[in-house]
Structure 1
Amino acid sequence: MLRTGYLLGLVSLVLLGTSIGCRAKSDLETYPISGTVTYQGKPVPIGSITLIPDSNQGNRGAAVSLEIIDGKFDSASASRGHIGGPHVATIIGLDGKGDDDLFPKGYMLFQDYQMTLDLPKEPSTKDIVVPTDQKKPRR
């Protein structure tokens, strides 16, 4: 009987800790972002942009990854937006001409491109131009 009470108490503490932890994370306000990604003057057919808060600049929080389709991205299609402040953005661009096996979404247009963005704590739009000197990876 005592052992069952101890076990129930332990489980209750774990659940309480988990719910407090989850609540604290969900209280972090996020902001919508949308925009375009171009490479060599053309919209990137398919890819992703990942926004990671720059901890080197004191910005901490969850990253968000957004899909690029026909050169456009929008956090409305993701589970949330960004937290604002300095971020490191990683852009992956694919040509959309894939095969059914190894590369269903296509081949890389350029090596992963990283840049820094200082995002406002409000809804925003970003137009990103991947430099043309980004080399295409070998197949």
Structure 2
Amino acid sequence: MATRWKWSVAITAFVLPVILAGCRKDDSTVHLTGSVTYDGRPVPCGNIWFIPDHKQGNSGHGSMALIRDGKYDTQSGLGVVGGAHLVRIEAFDGVVHGDNADGKLITKPYEQSFELPMTSGTLDFEIPAGPQ
């Protein structure tokens, strides 16, 4: 029994730090906050997706943040890695319609390539009005 316990302790002592190291956020992770507007007005609610552009050499993880009252913050999620990204924004009116608590889309989803900063900070997005 004592040998089994020693093996369990040894395995735990080796495996636990490896697992924790794999779960920690990468040093390249940055946190962005900012505003999201459509036609000059704050987006009531929505989602903003940060999708690394692998074609441009960005092999980092993707991330998503919620938009509430025209503001987003990646701190509550994984954060983002800097560099080339495709940013996709889904903007809703915030008026509950049936099962959809976010409401109706106020414009079709907006997608644009962006070079995200390599340090934490503020980055605002303006969804242009009209055809996209």
SS at match of 1:23: helix
RMSD: 2.5
Q: How far off its partner does 1:33 sit?
A: 0.3
Residues 50-100 of structure 1, C-alpha deviation per residue, up to 9 Å, x if partnerless?
Answer: 101110101012111001001011122x2331111111110000001112x
- Partner residue, 1:96: 94
Structure 2: give runs of 5+ residues left out of the alignment. 1-10
Residues 1:123 and 2:120 are matched in the alignment: yes
- Partner residue, 1:5: none
- Is residue 33–residue 74 contact of structure 1 (8 Å, CA) maintained in 2? yes
- 1:22 to 1:51, Cα distance in 2 relative to 1, 3 A: farther
TM-score by length of 1: 0.75
| Partner AA of 2:53 in structure 1 | D
- 1:116 to 1:22, Cα distance in 2 relative to 1, 3 A: farther
- Is residue 57–residue 86 contact of structure 1 (8 Å, CA) maintained in 2? yes
SS at match of 2:55: helix
- Is residue 65–residue 77 contact of structure 2 (8 Å, CA) maintained in 1? no
TM-score by length of 2: 0.79
| Partner AA of 2:65 in structure 1 | L
- Partner residue, 2:7: none
* Number of equivalences: 123
